[in-house]
Each structure stands twice: as C-alpha cells, then as structure tokens.
Structure 1
Amino acid sequence: MAPYESDDSTGADEVDDLRPGRRRAARYVVPVAVVGVAAATIGLVPALADSGDPSLPKITAQQLIEKIAKSDVQQLSGTVRINTDLGLPNLGGLQNSLMSGAAKGGDGSSADATSKLTELASGTHTLRVAADGQDRQKVSIIENAAEYSLIHNGKDVWGYDSKSNEVYHGTAAEDGAKHRDEASGTPKDFADEALKSVDDTTSVTVDGTAQVAGRDAYKLAIKPKHASGTTVGVISIAVDAKTGLPLKFTLTPASGGAAVLDAGFTQISFAKPAASTFDFTPPKGAKVTEQKDSKATERHSVKPGAGASGKGLAEKGPKVIGKGWNSIAVFDSGSKGGIPSSSGKGDLSGFLGSLGDHVSGKFGKGTVFSTRLVNALMTDDGKVYVGAVTKSALVNAANAGQ
C-alpha cells in the first residue's frame, strides 16, 4: 500500500456510510450539450505540476473524508487553474457559432452566468476567486484582454462581461444561489460532486501527500473497484492538511494519458479579502440587463431537446440504469430518427453523424459519440444513452431494451 493508504474496510465501506441519502444519478453530471458532442472543441495545455512530497502524520481515508466534511473555510482569495481535455475534435468556427447560441440562454445577456458554462467545460481557464462568508463571493474568469466577473454582495448579484461591456443584475434572494452554483469551478465544488458518488463499488484510499499552492496536502484517491465497463480511471483530490479544504481535483480516464479534468489552486490565501473586492458599479455606457421574473422566463423558454411534441429531454428527465460507475442515463428525445442519426439528412445532421461511430444491434441502428470520459449513443428510434462507460456498454444497454 502507499504510505498513507487505508484498507478497503477503512475506505469504501466506511465512506459509504457517510452518504445514506446519495443517489445513483449523482455519479456524473451530463449536460445537454453532450448530446451534440461535436458542439465543442478542446485545447489543453499540460496541467501545472505540483512540487514537494511533504511528510505528514498518517491519516485514514475515513478521517480525511471527515476532515473535508468539517472544513468551514469562510474567507479566502486565490487563483484557480482549470484544464479540460475530453478529446473532442477541433471544429473551428462551428464551435464558436454553437457556443454563441448557448450564451443566449438565461435572461439573454452575455453577462448572465449561464452563458459561461460551456466555456468552462472546455480548454484551459484561469479563475480568480474570493469569499467572505455566505454573503460575499466573487469569481472572475480571466480571458485574453477581457474578463468576466460574477459578484455576490449582500442582496445583489452582478455579472459583468468586459468584452461586450454588458452587465447582468439579479437579487440574491431569488438569484444568488442559482448563480453561485452556475459559477462553480473550484476544487471543492468538484470534490463535493465526486464524494456524492461514493458507494460499495468504489475504492477510497489515501495516496500519499503533495504540495499545492504552497500548502501541504493529503491526496485522496477515488476509483472503481472493478474497472470493466467504465471510462473513469481515478479521481484524485488534494486536501489541505490544516483546513481540510480541497485544493486540487484531478480526474484521469481509464484509457490513461492526460487528465480529463484538472482544477487546482495555484495561489491561495485565507486572509479576509478587502471589502472593496465585492464592490461593483456598472461602467459608464454598459448595457444593463435586470433579472427577469423566473416564471415568465420559464414560460417563454425553449426546452433543450424538444421534439415535435414539445416534450423534450429536460421535461421528461432521464432514467438511470446500471449500478455505480457503470450507471447509464437513458433519455427519450421524442424525435424519431435521432439527431443526428445514421441516416441523417441535411448538412449539419450529416456532418455531426460523420463524427460518430455508426452501430447496429437488436435495438436497430444508431450513432455513438465518444469522448475520453462521457459517451453517448443516439438510436434512430429517438433514444439516447449517456454515461461514463464504454461504447460496448451503451450498445449492450440498448440491446437489452432498457
């Protein structure tokens, strides 16, 4: 075993007891954009290397999980680097066009946090973060000659896109929690989701130590006990030895190579940020969009994946089949022929179809879109199978008529 590794009884079984209310569907988060897997391109620079191998007191996986759970860091500021490499093809101008279309969600402003989701899901990004309790947080995405900031200060939530000089304004009572969730991108956010997925199919161990952003940390390793069928290799979480705050999150696929997701602090301070950090006044000449009534927005919004019947994926929701790391979400798109299908018509349908692998079986015909982590099978009868599983696992599920 590694110097700080615990046995199975201290890892998976005990950690499992900490999550009595977990749901199998928490294994992964599958955005609707995965269905159109060719809609994004990934560019990745090598992940920043950590340095050092500090000597720390021995700790079990159970104790480290409890340390994370008890962590109550209220004040911090720092820089987070996020690298994402799903292995999608470079689609050039098509990517920009589709990204721009996605940015029209939310309340229609490029400064609405919804418009930044697809950007954080690909490539390399630098975030500056700051927090002072529950009422003041700030996340800034640093871009080339531009910056996007999301600021929660008391009852106000501000989004500002310097590139378009647009401002989005909402109120914390109705809007703050929503946008704080949408802007998630810190190692703690990813770690929280990973820990929800722990069950009896999971091995949880302490895998040595590391130094991240100048801080001594333990490394928690989460991986499937049986790798057959899943595309997940190992999830590594670097946990600050003093505060219990996750400092770095790395997800490596079963196929090996570069991490699919690598998010970590490159600099962090636990000092109280200056109050002015959270001050915001719309710049002169900026276009300001006020938060719309949520019910009105819902009434006039188009559900992603809606077919001729008007009942789309978001409305019907998925059912989850399989167990643990082999879980598969199944959607009914409500559209015969699939989009794209193996016999798709039209330039876009044919182009997207060419990016997938055409498959057939007892279920009929379909197209599999593969990434290094999440794969999706779209059948010609309108069903969609999505999961962090292999192509053969998706085909087997479709053949079983699940």
Structure 2
Amino acid sequence: MAPNDSVESNGGTRGTAVGRRKAARYIVPVAVAGVAAATIGLVPALASTGDPDLPKITAQQLIEKIAASDTQQLSGTVKISTDLGIPSLGGLAGSFAQGGGSGGGKGDSSADPKSRMTELASGTHTLRVAADGPDKQRVSILDSAAEYSLIHNGDQVWAYDSKSNEAYHATEKRAGTEHRAGQKSGHSTPAPDGVPTTPKALAEQVLKAAGPTTSVTVDGTAQVAGRDAYKLLIKPRQSGSTIGSVTVAVDAKSGVPLKFTLLPSSGGKAVVDAGFTKVDFAKPAASSFTFTPPKGAKVTEADDAKAQRKADGAEGLGIFPGAEGLGAGGSGAQDTKVIGEGWNAIAEIRTPGGTGLPSKASGDVPAEAQQFLDSLGDKVSGSFGSGTVFKTRLVNALVTDNGKVYVGAVTPDALVKAANGAS
C-alpha cells in the first residue's frame, strides 16, 4: 500500500480567473443543483474493491502522473450517481435549458445536449464513452428501453434521442468551445461546457482548485474496472466548506483517473460517484464516431433552433429574465467578484438591472419551475436586506431581493455572513 505522503498544490491566479469567469454563467438555482459544482472546481466518485500492492509514490508524483498522461484512445462504461439532496431534474431539464416548457417550444428538441446532459445532475446513470484523439468522442446515456448519444467527429456534432427519434446537429466553429469542453485531454467527451462526463474531466477541475488551503495525500491503492490504481485524497484545510473530501483513483500504468468520489462535510453517502466499471485503452472502431439520422427522424439544426428561441424570447437563461448578459459573459462578468479563498470562496454576482428572482405571481416562471424553486429555498434576512437561500448537499446560493447572488460550496450561514459583510 502506498504511504500517506502529502503535498500542497498551488492553483495560482489562473484558477481564480477561471472561477470568476465561469461563476457568472451559473447564478440560477439549477446551476446550484449541479452544474455550479463543476464551475467552482469541485467534483465526484464510485466504490472500488481490492487493495493491490504497488510501488510507493508521493502525492506530487501522482499529480504529475495525471498531468503527463497522454492517453488519446479509450472506450468503456461509466456509472455516475449524483445525490445533491434535490428533486430530480429529469422533467425540468428542458425548462431550465430552453426557457420554459419541456421541449414544447418551436426551437426545442429532445436531443439538444444542453437539456439532456443536465439530467446527470441527479440520480444514477450509466454512460458508454469512447474517444480517439481530441476530435473524436462519443458519450451515450443508456436507459432501460432507450439511448441518448452525443457524437463529436471533426467539426460535426450530432445528438440522437432514440426514444423520440429526434436528432440534433451542429457544425462546430473551430475557435469555439461550446462542444469542446476538456478537449486537451484526448479522452474527454463532447458534453456542453461545465458538464464533465468522465473521471478525467472531474479530476482536472478539482486539481485546478487545489492550493495552499488544500491537503493532498496518497491514501493507499484500489482496483477499479479490473485495473490497479492509486488513490489520491484531496481535503480542504479550512472549515466551513460543504466539501469533506475528494478521492481520485488513478490508473497505476497510464495515469488516467478511473474513479472520482466526493464526500460532503456533513457526512453520509457520496454526493457524486463517477467511475469506470469497464475500460479499454485500445483504439475504438471508427464506426463509433459516425452517425446518420434514422429514416423518419426529426432533425433540428442548432443554428435554426437558436434563431427560433431568440424569436420566441427564450434565448439565454430563459425563465430568469435579465440573466442573458451573464450567461453570455461580457458586461455581466464584470459584475462578479470573489469573496474569500480556497474551498470557502464565494462568488458575488450582481444581476443586470438589480432585480431579484422572478416569481409565479409575476407570470415569469412556469408552475413546475416555481415548485422546484420553492422546494429548495429558505427565506433569510440580515443587514443586506432579505433573500432566498437555495440549498443542496454541495453548492448553496443566496439570491437577494436587491439583485445580488452569493454562491459557493459553503454553508448557508457563510453566505449570509458574506452578504452582510458586502452590504
């Protein structure tokens, strides 16, 4: 078993800049429900068995092994279980991503990855993944009687929902990032930005966040998907974070993260388990990355869908009027700052127009979305005024009535304290 060697890893100012840039995109409760966890550089897990006898390695050496991994080809099965302590997002994914409704808008498609990949923020899912270099990836979400696939091949991106027989097609702009999240790693998958689908993508986000406030140690060995692995244990040195620990099982031979486990500081089961149950590092078949819409399938072109949503007034973050500027970056990003550091960092975001949450009474929120928000929120007050705290087991957010949002992997009390201090 490897010794419990430790090291401090400094993420530097680059990690802070990335956190500030991305935080502005996820100020709404759906982000708090899952995607914001990835935004702040936090992440997940899967249970393993076995205790192989491997050569000793330090934490620094193991981190370097992950960074040096040049694996470009793989295929396998990934199991992801997420327990954020919130209602299932399955029926609401379309509402949040498309601006209300569940695929009923003219510009909507049940195959649109922006809505379908949000489903990974809750429940247990089995994914089949494949990659062949930075330009060819495929991820499929497997259901009992259906399959949803997202395929990236060169500048072409296809998504297909077998249940509805709908396909979604986009031509990738080579300078863009919408469908190229994490492509520096050849085995990342073509999910929308902020939705990691492999242990590799999850591990990279956590290591970016590691710094002087983080303890990093080697915590023994494990067997994952039939392969020997070292366990990298990452824990906050600070108190007040909702994160208890993150464990990354790293393939002893290739340096590829095979499993990711995030435990909350409150105790109990893992918030997220994500790991390979089967993995093969051989070159996948070329047919894995080709797609032709089946006969009779409804095909939605990404540009046409975007234009229709804009015409319908549902472009951007939809049910949260005024948030479009934040979702697109630009001036919205300038209204964001970070309070505190490390695991206790809190993003303070000023919404355009200085308005609070829309409500069902105002006619701005669909009934099902309002029900979801009410199930998460608690009313709070302080010297900052009043607002609503949206809670999960991992990321919490305070939305004030005067148009500010405080979000982080910290306790609700920490958010209220930050808002009071900034008032």
TM-score in terms of structure 2 length: 0.80
Equivalent of 1:377, from 387, 398, 405?
398
Q: CA deviation at 1:5?
A: 1.5
Q: CA deviation at 1:384?
A: 1.3
Answer with 378-387 or 298-307: which moved more.
298-307
- Aligned counterpart, 2:387: 366
The 5 Å alignment of 1:232-251 reads 232-251=243-262
1:22 aligns with 2:43: no
**What is the CA–CA distance in structure 2 between the aligned matches of 1:57 and 1:204, rounded to whole Å?**
18
- Aligned counterpart, 1:148: 148
CA contact (8 A) 2:377 2:390 kept: yes
The 5 Å alignment of 1:284-323 reads 284-292=295-303, 302-304=315-317, 312-314=325-327, 315=329, 316-317=332-333, 318-323=336-341
1:68 aligns with 2:66: yes
TM-score in terms of structure 1 length: 0.84
CA contact (8 A) 1:307 1:334 kept: no
Instruction: Report the number of matched residues.
Output: 383
CA contact (8 A) 1:340 1:378 kept: no
Equivalent of 2:53, from 49, 52, 55?
55
Question: Any gaps of 5 or more consecutive residues in structure 1?
Answer: 41-46
**What is the CA–CA distance in structure 2 between the aligned matches of 1:293 and 1:5, rounded to whole Å?**
55
Q: CA deviation at 1:257?
A: 0.8
CA contact (8 A) 2:348 2:407 kept: yes
SS in 2 for 1:189: helix
Q: Deviations for 1:365-397, whole angstroms, at most 9, x for unmatched residues?
A: 222121111111121212111110011110111
For 1:286, the aligned partner's letter is A
**What is the CA–CA distance in structure 1 between the aligned matches of 2:32 and 2:137, rounded to whole Å?**
34
Q: Deviations for 1:146-167, whole angstroms, at most 9, x for unmatched residues?
A: 1111112234221111111111
Q: 1:24 to 1:257 in 2, by over 3 A?
A: farther
**What is the CA–CA distance in structure 2 between the aligned matches of 1:248 and 1:335, rounded to whole Å?**
43
**What is the CA–CA distance in structure 1 between the aligned matches of 2:318 and 2:218, rounded to whole Å?**
42
**What is the CA–CA distance in structure 2 between the aligned matches of 1:237 and 1:244, rounded to whole Å?**
11
Identity %: 59
**What is the CA–CA distance in structure 1 between the aligned matches of 2:53 and 2:21, rounded to whole Å?**
33
Q: Deviations for 1:238-259, whole angstroms, at most 9, x for unmatched residues?
A: 0000000000111111111111
SS in 2 for 1:277: helix
SS in 2 for 1:389: coil
Equivalent of 2:218, from 197, 200, 206?
206
CA contact (8 A) 1:249 1:262 kept: yes
SS in 2 for 1:120: helix
- Aligned counterpart, 1:43: none
The 5 Å alignment of 1:257-296 reads 257-292=268-303
1:220 aligns with 2:236: no
CA contact (8 A) 1:305 1:333 kept: no
Q: Deviations for 1:102-160, whole angstroms, at most 9, x for unmatched residues?
A: 35379633222212231011111111011122232111111231111111223422111
**What is the CA–CA distance in structure 2 between the aligned matches of 1:54 and 1:27, rounded to whole Å?**
41
**What is the CA–CA distance in structure 2 between the aligned matches of 1:359 and 1:229, rounded to whole Å?**
19
- Aligned counterpart, 1:44: none
Question: Any gaps of 5 or more consecutive residues in structure 2?
Answer: 35-44, 182-189
1:395 aligns with 2:416: yes
- Aligned counterpart, 1:197: 209
Q: CA deviation at 1:219?
A: 0.6
